[in-house]
Amino acid sequence: MHASASTHFAELALAFVLLLTRGASAEVPTNVVAVVGGDTSRALDALVEERVTAAGAALELTHVARIEPAVLLAPPANAPRALAHVWIDAASGDRYTLLLLDERLERGLLRYVTRARGDEIAREELGHILQTALEALLAGETIGVTREALYEHTVPRRPTPTPMRNVNTQAHAARCRAASAGTYEVDAFAAGTFLHGPGLSFDVRCDVVRTIALGVRLTGQDRYPVDISASSFGFTVQSWAGRVLGTVTLRATSGWSTEAAVGAGIDVEHVVPTVATGGSTLASPSSRAAFVARAGVWFVRTQPLRVALGVVVDADTSGATFDVLEQGTRHELFAAYALRPGVMLEIGTP
């Protein structure tokens, strides 16, 4: 009686274990739901079916025009139960994209397979990846990374918008720039007489639109002394010039521009008599300052250095004359031009 009860208990325990084992086995699906996008050829379908079958699963295959990465973030809530959910995007002509998620749509892998060596080789590589992943799932292994991590690699983050105030500040700062240059200028002072010498210029220009800039230019020039002879007298003129100009820059191309400028300044002239013949008395040195208006046009190459050739015109309305007093009578020896054309060369920073 005792032996019969023990045997009956063992049979019940064995039946219970078998029932649990069958129930657990029933909990593991063996179907694979696959979606192929952008490829209607039978070659890819056949390969997917072959590799799914080789892994020990059954294939459910559908086609769509294109697969969007958004499926990674929010797969359908009513997705059919399956061992794996597979998306293969063949819409790109240069590669296959394989996305595989597990039964719970929580983990998976994302692979890109180049088609540069031919579609057949690419399909074989794709099939190997697919079969290996399915075999791992059937063996109860965990594959890949989380769905959220896959999404981070597939869908680029939108850049954080920069506050408009900061954008405007940076744009405004980029519109204005300063430049300096060394100059050399030659001006027609009078008939047969030219004033020339080196100088410096300093510019500040601010863009109004992409091709137009407004600015201010400061220039200074130290002119070489020039000897002038008139009648029985000779004298040396030393002079210095300074100008303040408003400028307009028109950019023709990225490396060429034209500049126009209008302004005014001061000429300082120091006259030193050197010769007096015929019994005349040598006068003492004298100096004068004259207001001068200026207009000019420059043709500029801005890269890699600023190289500019300009044509300028100065207007001296003070009537610069050099006179001598003889026996109580003033005689004009020399008169400068009221309008004095000149040329200027500049080399400096862009």
Options 1.20.1180.10, 3.40.50.300, 1.25.10.10, 2.40.160.20; CATH of 170-348: 2.40.160.20
Q: What's the number of CA atoms in the CB half-sphere (13 Å) around residue 24?
A: 7
Own/partner contacts of 251-259, CB < 8 Å, gap of 24 or more, are: 251/210, 251/211, 251/212, 251/213, 254/303, 255/301, 255/302, 255/303, 256/299, 256/300, 256/301, 256/302, 257/300, 257/302, 258/297, 258/298, 258/299, 258/300, 259/297, 259/298, 259/300, 259/308, 259/310
> Model pTM?
0.49
Strand partners, 62: 35
Which CATH number applies to 7-154? Answer: 3.40.50
Q: What is the pLDDT along the chain (350 residues), one digit of tens a residue?
A: 444 545 554 555 555 444 444 444 446 688 999 988 887 678 889 999 999 999 999 999 988 887 776 666 666 667 788 999 998 888 877 888 888 989 888 888 889 999 988 889 999 999 999 999 999 999 889 888 888 887 777 665 555 555 555 444 444 444 788 999 999 999 998 888 899 999 999 999 998 888 899 999 999 999 999 888 776 677 788 999 999 999 999 987 778 899 999 999 999 988 887 776 665 665 678 888 889 999 999 999 987 888 999 999 999 877 667 666 555 566 666 778 889 999 999 999 87
Boundaries of every domain in the chain = 7-154, 170-348
